[in-house]
Structure formats: structure tokens, C-alpha cells
A and B are shown apart, each in its own frame.
Chain A
Amino acid sequence: MDYEIVIGLEVHCQLLTETKIFCGCSTHFGNPPNQNSCPVCTGMPGALPVLNRKVVDFAVRAGLATACKITPNSVFARKNYFYPDLPKGYQISQFELPICIGGHLDIEVEGEKKRIGITRIHMEEDAGKLVHPEYEHGVSYVDYNRACVPLIEIVSEPDMRSSAEAVAYLKALREIVVYLGVCDGNMEEGSFRCDANISLRRWGAPEFGTRAELKNMNSFRNVQRAIEYEVERQRDILDGGGQVVQETRLWNVDRGVSMSMRGKEEAHDYRYFPDPDLLPVVVDEVWVEDVRQKLPELPAAKRQRLVDDYAIPVVDAEVLTADRAMADYFEAVVKLFAQPKAVANWIMVELMKLINEDKISITQCPITPQGLGDLLSLIDEGVISGKIGKQVFSQMYSSANNDPRQLIEDQGLAQMSDVGELAALVDDIVAANDGKVKEYQQGKVKLFGFFVGQVMKKTKGQANPQVVNRLLKEKIG
């Protein structure tokens, strides 16, 4: 039987604030266990949360970028459950009145555009981390460094109909939160993580089928695999006349299967209620407008603008805008050297090769836009050839020297373009190769290359090839 696949996604983004959501502790990753902790984030008796307003700012940013309405009085609620990584026995989250509601995100799969609804975005605190050392049997430790680190959860409508749409949505969403500067988007480290609700229904059926929730997918590839696995699993059940059980399933990356984590009967009753320790979060029009004014250009708009303003191919625009800083870099170079396609090529081929090899971001690139702009101008002016240019480029990169003119001078790499000097050289060579000149003039045109080669040899490759060509043509016809 054929079924329609229905997918909704819940995405948790760890926010890039300096401090935690309800205390002043650092959010810095990688500190020794429990170093980033205080009475508040370890749930000491009597300690109280105080909201970090930056978190609200970030959540509103994400909301505006996904066309959400901002709730003027949103409310923090307690989600009650027991687990050792949850120091208070409840997580401070939002339930009935989240900060953002009712937005959407446009995606494109195989040329087809589609709008995916966003139900809500809410703010919450992360939990700590359990450590089970292998060498100590029966002992576990808790690290509260991550406890109280701010998250936003972005919940989509069940609008996706294939794993490809789900991945496209995730990629678009990730790109946006990274562009907004609210999240680093790192899926492996879990700062951008996704749960998927999946169900199947017969084509045309009005009701959704019973859904399963998938967790623990830490890459786009795993999201795709896990969804496909789950679709097949449910299809087999339904085809066999069985019923899908509502449950939470954990994706096992190594084995490529998902396993039941807990069923509906074991589902938590979280007993949400408004947190009496926190006041409603009042976000007035002024605040919303302020955030709106400061929103950066979003990826889709930027892509279109690059194509329109610089007449570069759509594919180039896509590559350049995959990273906001990369697009900024491109535009900065174009300002100095107004040949956008050439700039795009240099960035996409030469520059990306080096930074990808070194696994650094464009913001860490040793070559500044000014340096690259100068280099491209020097090539364009004929001071050096394109080939020498690449050599200078890699020197600039490895030495972090952004003065290409100086590098060229120091090493005597400049092209010889002086017509008088080159003409004398050409004369010498023609005079010394009388026989070859005759052969050439009798029709052996391939020999032209020989004469060029001779000039290059004499000039150690620095003669301007265009000038040499012209002079030779004048001399030997």
C-alpha cells in the first residue's frame, strides 16, 4: 500500500550567549567539570533564577527571521521530571505562552519551493551531563557546566512529506540561526539538535497516523537515514495489518537502526505550570522593532542580491552565502576589485581549498579581503601573471603577509612588460636562431612557441606573455 509520509521537527539550538540563561555563569565549552556552576545552576536550596535578557533578544531574532509573531507577555513554566542531570527536578521552559508563535520557513527540494509552518519557538535551559567512567564500576558523575545553558526549541508543523524535505528544512533553519549569530549550528557537538515526529497515513486520509518520535540524530545524513528507516519500519507494520505504537525511539548511528526508548504508557506527565520564581517576559513593540532593525540580511535574500548585484551564477551565490562571513568576505573583496566573477572564482577555488584543508573558518583566514583585492589588481594590471599570482597567494596565506606588492618585489616576481627591454631580447633571440626563423616563415607555425619559450627562459618566466607575443609577431610575422 502507498502512504503519505508526515514529518514534524523539533530543533534545539544552543544559544551563543556569554552567560547562562538564569545565572551569571560562563557558557564556555570545555572547561573542567562543574567549573561553570553556582548555587543557581546547580539547584541549591533557596537559589533563584534571573532571566538573561540576551536570551530573549536571540529568541526574538529567530522568531522574526522565521516570520513568527512575538508574544508580548510570554511565560516561563516548569517541566517537572526526575533525572540526575536536572539539578532542580524540573526544567525551566515555556509551555502555554511561548515567546514566538505561528511562523514559517521556505525550502526548496529539486527545484520545488515549499513553505513549512513553524508552530512555536520557546526558550529553555539545558540540562547537565552524566559521566559514567569505564574504570569505576557502579559510579556516575554529573557535570553541571551545561546545566542552565540557554536553548531555543523551534517546533515545526507536520508539514514535511519526505526525508529530503526534512533535511532541506533543517539546512535552511541551521543556516538562518547561524546567520543570526544565535547558534553555532554544530550538530556533532549537539549545539544544533533535532527530534523528528514521523507518521504515515493512507493517501487522502484526513487524520494523521500514530507517530513515533526519533531522537539522537547528530548529522543531516543521520536525520535522513533515521527518517527513511522509520518510514520503512512503519510501512512494514501497516502493510502487515499492524498498528504503529506511539513511542520515543533512539537512533543508533553505528547499527543504522532505531530502538524503542519509552512508550506512551511510560510517557512523562510533566505537570507544567507557570514558574512562580520568574515574571512574565514582557517584550514590547519597541524591543521587537529594535531587534528587527538589527537583523542581518538572511541567506535567501543575500543569495538573490548577489546574483542581481554582481551577476554571478546562482551556484556561486549559493556557495558564497553558505556562510555569512564568506559572503561578507566576497563583498569586501569586490569593493576593492570590481570583477565579481573573478573574485568568486578565487574564493571558491583557491581560498576555500586552503581553509578547508586547515579546517578554519573564513574569519580566521590569514589573507584579508584587502590582501586578496590587491593581489587581484596586480594580476589584472599585468604586474604578475595569473600563474605567479597563485604562487604569491599561497605565500600570503602561509606567511599571513597581506602586502602582495612587497612579496613580488622582494622575490623579483614582477613581469617584464617593458617593451624596449623585451624588444632587445627578441632581437637577440631572432638573430641567434636564423634557421628556425626561416622554417617558421616557411610555414612551421608551431615554432612560434619555441621563440616564446626562449624569451621566457631568458627572463626566468617573468616576461609579460602578451607583450612577448606582440613583439615576436611584429618581428617574424
Chain B
Amino acid sequence: MELYNCSLEELWQRLEKGEVSSLEVTRSVFKRIAEVDETVGAYLEIDEKRALVQAEAADERRRQGQEITPVTGIPLGLKDLLSTAGLKTTCGSKMLAGYRPEYDATVVSRLREAGAVITGKLNMDEFAMGSSTENSSFKPTRNPWDLKRVPGGSSGGSTAAVASATAIATLGSDTGGSIRQPASFCGVVGMKPTYGRVSRYGLVAFASSLDQIGPVTLTVADAALLLGVIAGHDERDSTSVDLPVADYYGGLKNEIKDLRIGVPAEYFGAGLDPEVEAAVRLGCRQMAATGARFEDVSLPHTDYAVATYYLLATAEASSNLARYDGVKYGFRAEDADGLIDMYRKTRAQGFGDEVKRRIMLGTYALSAGYYDAYYRKAQQVRTLITRDFDKVFAGCDVLVAPVCPTPAFAFGEKVDDPLSMYLSDILTIPVNLAGLPAISVPCGFTKAGLPIGLQIIAKPFAEETLLKVAWHYEQMAGWSGRRPQLAGEAV
């Protein structure tokens, strides 16, 4: 098997045994990038030169007997909204085309300290706003399982890269499902940790109270390994929580016999694709075979989640994106007459339609006279949604549900219908509003060969339980690790 096709876990073990070198693995991944990324389009920036230097450094580190981590020498890709010193960070936006940060995000410096190899920066919906990566200012990313279809979004580049083996694992960010939904579309594992588990310092903000960085990987074990490296308190992020980080990987094989699993009725409602429902129901039956107990539960405020999310997330975004004004960095309109005109033209020309739409929505929600009816009300509903989960979790350990009502859709299918695009986030958004950890694990394919994801949701900071349950399911179901057949590839 080609090295690029290996899981992080396997490569870690083979590197440990000295069977392969990081340089070999890294060269293999860049060979793969050269072969298929023109077709898939996961990368916005490929950083081969520096990656090879990092790979050599990782091998040297190993030779010298220095501290080794599971990601030492492993080629990893980063969603292009993670600040990387000296490496372009565009957030998929013309507004930041050519912007080279002067500093590393905390997760990036943790990866560097751990000896990871950074392959480059991955495509995304502009400023993480979108569910298909079609909102990237630069190019589309194709779903490796069906090139006519979207990879999902906003972390579409991160999931497509893992699915097409152009990175061993990647980091994405999840504000309303932006890791889990594209992971389900691309047939890979995507995890959103508890809000506060991973530092947001250097994650270019879309909606600060919802954004969370998480791993995108081939398997649950890989997610456990990668999360172990990036998780933990960071003094630079006031919202990061100072709680001990468990040995996620070491805990995977612990028993799940007495587990209580809730199945929220609202997540199996109208609009759920029958093939998706069947695959998720089958997943539940397989998990029941381990001795876990299933229970029907209700999250009654689920219907309000999308409206709540699109008020709060856009309100925060309207403020977070105010800094892109043409003054300090990034794009500045050239034909401006005076300051106000410079602002207007810069923002009109630099942002795409979806970003402008959300800035306007959010600005409206915060405006004098509307604040109470929209922003404040949405905050109150957010509390109710969180309480729904609290109540349900009093009686069960995890929840199981679909990730997205449908499998990957075709390019252009929803671009002109933002509302239907927003509504497709209904099964992922409540988790962000409540700040919970959740994961998307492959649970089968449609007849047309499109991947389907199963979502597991856990209590705040119960990543250990979440990963353990996901791992047991994955072992039983066996859907993880499958690779799409890409055109021009030797079979």
C-alpha cells in the first residue's frame, strides 16, 4: 500500500519501528498531491519545500532520541483560516488574498512543537460561511467520491484532502457543522470538540461563541491521536477551558457495555433522505449489539436552532469581519475617493455574496430597536436549546443521529437557494449552540456510492466517551478507511 493511503495511527507505529522515514511519507503525500489535487482541488497553498525540511527535522529528532509525539513527521494539512506565520492564510477570501500572518495559531504552534509536517492550506467557504466550499473566492473543491458533487463545507478542503489521501489528517473548524457535514459527505471522520477544549487563538473568527477547531481523519483512532496534540488550555484564549486532557487514544478500547444511548426524535424528521435514515438506523442496531441501551429522547427546541444560529452567528460575524477594512492588511480597493469610499469599495469588492449577506443579516440583528427582538431573543433560545441537551444527558451518555439530512449534493444545486442550504445544517447546529463535542463517523454509502455519516454527540468535555463510542462503532461497522476511486489512478 502506498504510504499516503495509511492512517495516522499506522504511520505513527511504522515510524516508531523505523520501518519508514518521515521524508518517505512526506514525499509520498506530495506525489499524491501532484497526482490528484488538480482534480480534487483541496489545496489553496501547497508548501512542499518547507514540508520536506520539517520532515527531515522530524527524522533527525527521532534519530537523536528526542521526544516523539504521534504526529512527529506526519504530513498534515490545515484549513486556510488557521493563522500560519509566513504561510498565506486567506480564509478562502479575496479579502485576504496574499495575506501572510506574522504569527502561528496556538494549534499550529502545538503541531510544530510536536514535530508535525505542514503540507499546506486547504480550501474552504469564504470565512467559513457555507456548506459546500462553493463560496471559496478562489476555486471549487470536488468531492473525491463524485467529482460532480460538492465536498460539503465549510471545511471541504480539509475533508476532501483526507478522503483523497493528499494529507494524512487535517484540521478543520466547525461553527455550525463545518467539520462534521463535509466529513460525512467525504466519508471521513470529523470531530468537533467541546467549545473551549481547543484554543481558538489564531483561528480567524467567523462566530466566536461557536467556532471550534477539530481533527479530520481517516479513522476515529487518528482523531483521538490528533486531538490529544491540539487540545488543552491556552492562556491566549480566554474561552479555552483549563481542564485536564485525557489520553484519548489510550481510552478508545475501554468497554462501552453499560452505555446509555439516546436517539433524538427531532433528528429523524421530515426531509431526512431515506437512504441516510436507513444507514443511521442500521448503525444504531449495530451499536445495540454491544449491549448498549437505546432510548428515544426529545430535544423539543430543535426547530428553533437554525433561526437562532443564523441570528447569533451572523451578529458575531458582522463584528468579527469589521477589521477587513483595507487599512492594515489584505485587499484594498484601488479606485477609492476618500476614507468612506475606500471602506465601501474595499468591502464591496473584497467579500463574496454569502459573506455580505451574513454581515448584513448580523448588522440588522444588532441594530438599535431590533437587538431585543433578534439578538437577545436568540440568546434566550440558545439557553433553551442547551437545557434540552442537559435534560437528555441526565439520562444518557451519548446521542446518535444523522449528520446531514442528505448525502453530498451537486455543484450549483443550492447556490441560489441559501435558505435550503441553511436548513441542511439543522442536525449539526444545535451542538454548536450548546457547545457540545460531536463526531461524524462513516456509516455506509448510498446506492449511488455517496458516503453517509453517523453523528455521535456527547456531554461537555466528554471527548473520551465520545471517541470511545465512535471507535467501537467504527470497529463493528467497518466503513472507515475506504478510499474513493479517482480518475487517472492506477487501480
Do A and B come from the same complex?
Answer: yes
Q: What is the CA–CA distance of A45 and B316 in the complex, to the nearest angstrom?
A: 14
Minimum C-beta distance from B485 to chain A (A): 37
Minimum C-beta distance from B131 to chain A (A): 22
B322 touches A82 (CB 8 A): yes
Minimum C-beta distance from B345 to chain A (A): 13
The interface bits of chain A over 35-72 (1 if a CB of B lies within 8 angstroms of the residue's CB, else 0) are 00001001111111111000000000000000000000
Q: Which chain A residues border B363 with CB–CB below 8 Å?
A: 271
Q: What is the CA–CA distance of A252 and B371 in the complex, to the nearest angstrom?
A: 37
Interface centre among A42, A44, A48, A84 (most CB of B within 10 A): A48
What would 5 more interface pairs be, CB under 8 Å, given A47-B201, A51-B238?
A44-B103, A45-B323, A48-B201, A84-B327, A279-B238
Minimum C-beta distance from A83 to chain B (A): 9
Minimum C-beta distance from A312 to chain B (A): 51
Within 8 A of A (CB), among B102-154: 102-103, 105
Q: Which chain B residues border A78 with CB–CB below 8 Å?
A: 319
B103 touches A273 (CB 8 A): no
A89 at the interface (CB under 8 A from B): yes
Closest B residue to A270 by beta carbon equals B368
Q: What is the CA–CA distance of A276 and B314 in the complex, to the nearest angstrom?
A: 13
Interface centre among B105, B207, B238, B366 (most CB of A within 10 A): B238
A277 at the interface (CB under 8 A from B): yes
Minimum C-beta distance from A275 to chain B (A): 8
Minimum C-beta distance from B2 to chain A (A): 35
The interface bits of chain B over 32-62 (1 if a CB of A lies within 8 angstroms of the residue's CB, else 0) are 0000000000000000000000000000000
Q: What is the CA–CA distance of A273 and B83 in the complex, to the nearest angstrom?
A: 26
A89 touches B323 (CB 8 A): yes
Q: What is the CA–CA distance of A60 and B366 in the complex, to the nearest angstrom?
A: 30
Q: Which chain A residues border B325 with CB–CB below 8 Å?
A: 82, 84, 89
B238 touches A50 (CB 8 A): yes
- Going nearest first, the 10 A-B pairs with the smallest beta carbon separation are A89-B322, A276-B209, A271-B366, A276-B208, A45-B204, A46-B202, A46-B83, A46-B204, A43-B323, A84-B327
Known contacts A82-B343, A271-B367, A273-B375; A44 and B83 CB within 8 A of each other: yes
A90 touches B89 (CB 8 A): no
Q: What is the CA–CA distance of A474 and B199 in the complex, to the nearest angstrom?
A: 94
Q: What is the CA–CA distance of A47 and B323 in the complex, to the nearest angstrom?
A: 12
Q: Which chain A residues border B468 with CB–CB below 8 Å?
A: none
Known contacts A39-B103, A44-B103; A80 and B319 CB within 8 A of each other: yes
Q: What is the CA–CA distance of A39 and B103 in the complex, to the nearest angstrom?
A: 7
The interface bits of chain B over 349-371 (1 if a CB of A lies within 8 angstroms of the residue's CB, else 0) are 00000000000000100111001
Q: What is the CA–CA distance of A19 and B329 in the complex, to the nearest angstrom?
A: 25
B322 touches A80 (CB 8 A): yes
Within 8 A of B (CB), among A207-258: none
Closest A residue to B83 by beta carbon equals A46
B236 touches A88 (CB 8 A): no
Minimum C-beta distance from A150 to chain B (A): 16
A354 at the interface (CB under 8 A from B): no
A48 touches B238 (CB 8 A): yes
B316 touches A276 (CB 8 A): yes
B91 at the interface (CB under 8 A from A): yes
Closest A residue to B103 by beta carbon equals A39
List 26 contacting pairs A-B, 8 Å CB cutoff, sorted by A.
Answer: A39-B102, A43-B323, A44-B101, A44-B103, A45-B91, A46-B83, A46-B203, A46-B204, A47-B201, A50-B237, A51-B238, A80-B319, A80-B322, A80-B366, A82-B322, A84-B327, A142-B328, A271-B371, A273-B319, A273-B371, A276-B316, A277-B205, A277-B208, A277-B239, A278-B238, A278-B239
With an 8 Å Cβ cutoff, the count of chain B residues facing the other chain is 45
Closest A residue to B200 by beta carbon equals A48
B101 touches A87 (CB 8 A): no
The interface bits of chain A over 253-292 (1 if a CB of B lies within 8 angstroms of the residue's CB, else 0) are 0000000000000000101110011110000000000000
A269 touches B208 (CB 8 A): no
Minimum C-beta distance from B194 to chain A (A): 16
Q: Which chain A residues border B81 with CB–CB below 8 Å?
A: 46
Q: What is the CA–CA distance of A272 and B99 in the complex, to the nearest angstrom?
A: 29
Closest B residue to A39 by beta carbon equals B103
Closest A residue to B376 by beta carbon equals A273
B239 touches A45 (CB 8 A): no
B10 at the interface (CB under 8 A from A): no
Chain A residues with CB under 8 Å of chain B are: 39, 42-51, 78, 80, 82, 84, 87-90, 142, 269, 271-273, 276-279
Picked from A48, A80, A88, the residue with its CB within 8 Å of the CB of B237 is: A48
Chain B residues with CB under 8 Å of chain A are: 81-83, 89, 91, 96, 99, 101-103, 105, 200-205, 207-209, 235-239, 315-316, 318-319, 321-325, 327-329, 339, 343, 363, 366-368, 371, 375
A46 touches B371 (CB 8 A): no
Q: What is the CA–CA distance of A92 and B16 in the complex, to the nearest angstrom?
A: 48
Known contacts A45-B323, A269-B367; A50 and B208 CB within 8 A of each other: no
Q: Which chain A residues border B91 with CB–CB below 8 Å?
A: 45
Q: Which chain B residues border A43 with CB–CB below 8 Å?
A: 323, 328
Q: Which chain B residues border A271 with CB–CB below 8 Å?
A: 318-319, 363, 366-368, 371
A269 touches B238 (CB 8 A): no
Q: What is the CA–CA distance of A46 and B363 in the complex, to the nearest angstrom?
A: 20
Q: Which chain A residues border B322 with CB–CB below 8 Å?
A: 80, 82, 88-90
Picked from A84, A88, A90, A269, the residue with its CB within 8 Å of the CB of B368 is: A269
Q: Which chain A residues border B368 with CB–CB below 8 Å?
A: 269, 271
B101 touches A46 (CB 8 A): yes
Known contacts A45-B323, A48-B201, A277-B239; A84 and B339 CB within 8 A of each other: yes
Q: What is the CA–CA distance of A82 and B343 in the complex, to the nearest angstrom?
A: 9
A42 touches B366 (CB 8 A): no
Q: What is the CA–CA distance of A407 and B291 in the complex, to the nearest angstrom?
A: 97
Q: What is the CA–CA distance of A45 and B83 in the complex, to the nearest angstrom?
A: 8
Q: What is the CA–CA distance of A88 and B325 in the complex, to the nearest angstrom?
A: 9
Q: Which chain A residues border B327 with CB–CB below 8 Å?
A: 84, 87, 142
Picked from A47, A82, A278, the residue with its CB within 8 Å of the CB of B202 is: A47
Closest B residue to A269 by beta carbon equals B368
Q: What is the CA–CA distance of A50 and B208 in the complex, to the nearest angstrom?
A: 14
Closest B residue to A279 by beta carbon equals B238
Closest B residue to A76 by beta carbon equals B238
Minimum C-beta distance from B27 to chain A (A): 31
B101 touches A90 (CB 8 A): no
Q: What is the CA–CA distance of A51 and B238 in the complex, to the nearest angstrom?
A: 8
Q: What is the CA–CA distance of A46 and B128 in the complex, to the nearest angstrom?
A: 13
Picked from A47, A50, A273, the residue with its CB within 8 Å of the CB of B366 is: A273
Q: What is the CA–CA distance of A269 and B370 in the complex, to the nearest angstrom?
A: 11
Q: What is the CA–CA distance of A142 and B339 in the complex, to the nearest angstrom?
A: 13
Picked from B89, B203, B328, the residue with its CB within 8 Å of the CB of A42 is: B328
Picked from B321, B329, B366, the residue with its CB within 8 Å of the CB of A44 is: B329
Q: Which chain B residues border A272 with CB–CB below 8 Å?
A: 366
Known contacts A51-B238, A80-B319, A278-B238; A45 and B366 CB within 8 A of each other: no
Minimum C-beta distance from B79 to chain A (A): 12
Minimum C-beta distance from A52 to chain B (A): 12
A45 touches B201 (CB 8 A): no
Minimum C-beta distance from B313 to chain A (A): 10
A50 touches B204 (CB 8 A): no
Q: Which chain A residues border B101 with CB–CB below 8 Å?
A: 39, 44-46
Closest B residue to A51 by beta carbon equals B238
Minimum C-beta distance from B72 to chain A (A): 25
Closest A residue to B89 by beta carbon equals A45
Q: What is the CA–CA distance of A271 and B361 in the complex, to the nearest angstrom?
A: 13
Minimum C-beta distance from B210 to chain A (A): 8
A50 touches B319 (CB 8 A): no
Picked from A44, A48, A84, A89, the residue with its CB within 8 Å of the CB of B319 is: A89
Q: Which chain A residues border B321 with CB–CB below 8 Å?
A: 89
B238 touches A46 (CB 8 A): no
Q: What is the CA–CA distance of A43 and B329 in the complex, to the nearest angstrom?
A: 10
